[in-house]
Amino acid sequence: MPLRFIEVPNPEVPAWGELELDVYLLSEWDKPHPDPLVSNESPADRKPPASPTQAQIDDILRPARPEALRVYGHNTGADAGCWIRLCYTNEEGHNALWSANESAQWVTYGGVVLDDESIFGGLDLAAALEIFPERVTNEAVNIELREESLKDAKWSAEEGDWAENPLGPYALYQADCVVTHMYVEDDVAVNGGGVLHVFLDDRGNVVRQWRVQDDGSESNYDGTSFAGVWKVAFEGEKGEVGPAYREGERTAAPHTHLENLRL
């Protein structure tokens, strides 16, 4: 299957210089790199030329990543589903998974399907997000909500008896860190282990993930149902907590492009 939006014919390709990644790359080219921990610059401060020159397009923007991904750089928010194929060694298994998706509608109308072996073959999810950061960076971050949620989690952890489940009080905080989700077709998935449903924070870290079987449990997952279903699953301790959150609050360093686009 090619890269595509589901049932969205002829999507508009953004002009060069319009994407957030374009803005970042153009603004940072030949510029001294300050320490991000002390820099006060925000994305709004980056003001590259409104229309990049042909030389900038050819020398900076085109080599940055496959041009075929540009059309998906705008409309890839969490309200639209996303399926990414990382394993290309089992076509029969892939066809079975996609048939299950068409039946269960994990990813439906308007969702983006990232299926191109020349781009994603052999990559893990972290590497894939480095060349397609918009799936994470397109989403707004409610920092105040996240901070309040962390305070509540720490209070609950201190006041309650969580010896047998130390991550229990952090479930809603971790849910509040999620900005988007993706269905990942990896080696385990194509060999019958279930497609991987991954929930990501604004730095591209996995917050929680689980394997989905074709049992109807996540049918019609796109759209408004996304807003609350996964929080209930987090509280129910479904799946596994990502490495960055196994101490309760986030501990891992961000991926390069994702952090730079968030500064």
Strand partners, 84: 114, 184
**How confident is the model at residue 161, as a pLDDT?**
85
For the segment 12-24, the average pLDDT, to the nearest whole number, is: 91
**How confident is the model at residue 33, as a pLDDT?**
55
Whole-Å CA distances, 227 to 94, 194, 238: 28, 23, 16
Please write the tens of the pLDDT for every residue from 98-121: 999 998 889 988 899 999 999 999
The DSSP element (H or E) to which 95 belongs, if any, is helix 91-104
CA distance 144 to 19: 27
In this predicted model, which residue has the larger pLDDT, 222 or 229?
A: 229
Nearest Cα to 132, choosing from 1, 263, 3? 3
For the segment 226-240, the average pLDDT, to the nearest whole number, is: 84
pLDDT band at 217 (very low <50, low <70, confident <90, very high): confident
Residue 153, C-beta contacts closer than 8 angstroms, at least 6 positions apart: 169, 170, 172, 173, 248, 249
CB 97, CB 104: distance < 8 Å: no
In degrees rounded to 5, what are phi and psi of residue 234?
-65, -45
pLDDT band at 138 (very low <50, low <70, confident <90, very high): confident
CA 214 from chain centre, in angstroms, equals 23
Please write the tens of the pLDDT for every residue from 156-194: 988 888 888 888 889 999 999 999 999 999 999 999 999
- The pairing of strands 112-114 and 82-85 is parallel
Determine whether 156 is exposed, middle or buried from the number of CB atoms within 10 Å of its CB (0-12, 13-18, 19+). middle
Tokens of 177: 């860190």
CB 23, CB 49: distance < 8 Å: no
Average pLDDT, the chain: 85
pLDDT band at 74 (very low <50, low <70, confident <90, very high): confident
- The pairing of strands 4-5 and 240-241 is unpaired
For the segment 194-219, the average pLDDT, to the nearest whole number, is: 90
**How confident is the model at residue 227, as a pLDDT?**
61
Residue 253, C-beta contacts closer than 8 angstroms, at least 6 positions apart: 259
Domain boundaries, the chain: 4-262
Q: How far apart are the first and last CA of the chain?
A: 35
Q: Could you give the percent of the chain with pLDDT greater than 90?
A: 53
CB 117, CB 185: distance < 8 Å: no
Residue 176 is which amino acid?
D
In this predicted model, which residue has the larger pLDDT, 12 or 75?
A: 12
CB 166, CB 154: distance < 8 Å: no
CA distance 9 to 77: 18
In this predicted model, which residue has the larger pLDDT, 240 or 34?
A: 240
